[in-house]
Structures are given as structure tokens and as C-alpha cells.
Amino acid sequence: MDDKTQTRSSRSGITGDVDLVKGVGARHKDLDAPTEGGGYLDTCSDSDLALLKKIAPPGDPRLNMLHELGLADHWLKIADLVGFDHFMTMWMILDEPNVYASSRERKRRRIHVPQYSKFMRFCREKIIIDLSNKGKKPHLIHKILLKDMRERVSVRHIERIIKNSNIDK
């Protein structure tokens, strides 16, 4: 290393020729900038490209804005699934109660997202009741659910669902 070149970890500190210390990056004054660009800052990994393709298909670049905004992944997936315009409409509807609310009220309000499993349970019970109404016995319903839906429901539970559905009638 010559006298004019200093490293950041130099024990003697950054000293040397006065010309080298002027301005930002002055210690590297004699170094030419790389002709191909800024190196790692201009690169994009394969996983980044895959994410961009998932988030913003070529059809609607507006989805990139949601990504740049920093929305959580689950919101980006929903926007990608339903499309930008439908997502924005949904977002406005969900936020509507907050429009005229104070900041304190907005902090207290949270959107309740029902568990998806609740819907699946509801559908499963409808199928059990429908099969029962068609004359199928609980043991057969148990086998059908296991084979066709991969749902493990006890025969006793199926009997309770059928019994409760007859009470509602």
C-alpha cells in the first residue's frame, strides 16, 4: 500500500495528502468508477424476480404500487387474486368507518376476519345433513367424508349434527 492510500481500518487514521481528503470519496480520488454500474445495487436475485412476477403480472403494473407502499404479503396476495380495482374498492369499504373517526377511535377499531375453518365446518355440516336427508346412515356418511373430503369426523359427532338439524326444523 502506498502512502496516499488509506483504508477505513487504518490504525494511523485517515491522513495523507491534502488533495486526497477534499470532498466525499476524496480518499479514492484516483480510482475510476466501474463502467458496468454500481455493482450489487443494480442486481436482483431470482427470488426477488419471482416475487415481482407473483405480485405484479404484466397486465397491471399498479399492483407494484401496493408493494412499494409496503402492504403486508396477505394484502398483496388478495390484490393479485381479485385485481387492483376490486382490491381498492374493498379497501375503501373496509376503511369507510374510519373516514370521520378520530385517531383514537381508529386505533381501537380492528377488522375481524372470521376463521376460514368456520366456513369449512359450516359446509361440512351442510353435506352431512344433505346426505342424512338422502337416507345415508352416520357410518356411511363417516366413510364418505373420509374418502371424498379427507375429513375425519367421528360417527358420534355426525349423529349430533343430524340430531341438531332435526331440532331446528
Mean pLDDT by 10 residues, the chain (169 residues): 51 49 52 50 48 55 89 91 93 82 75 85 94 96 94 95 83
CA 12, CA 111: separation in Å to the nearest integer?
Answer: 60
pLDDT at residue 3, rounded to an integer? 52
Residue 40 has a pLDDT of 45
pLDDT of residue 156: 97
The CA distance from 7 to 158, in Å, is 75
- Measured distance CA(74)–CA(158) in Å, rounded: 34
Report pLDDT for 56.
47
* Helix (H) / strand (E) containing 107: helix 103-108
The predicted model scores a pTM of 0.49
Residue 113, pLDDT score:
78
Long-range CB pairs of 59-64, under 8 A, 24+ apart, other chains included: 60/84
HSE-up (13 A, CA, CB side) for residue 65: 8
Side-chain-facing half-sphere of 50: CA atoms under 13 Å: 3
Residue 39's SS3 state is helix
pLDDT value, residue 18: 46
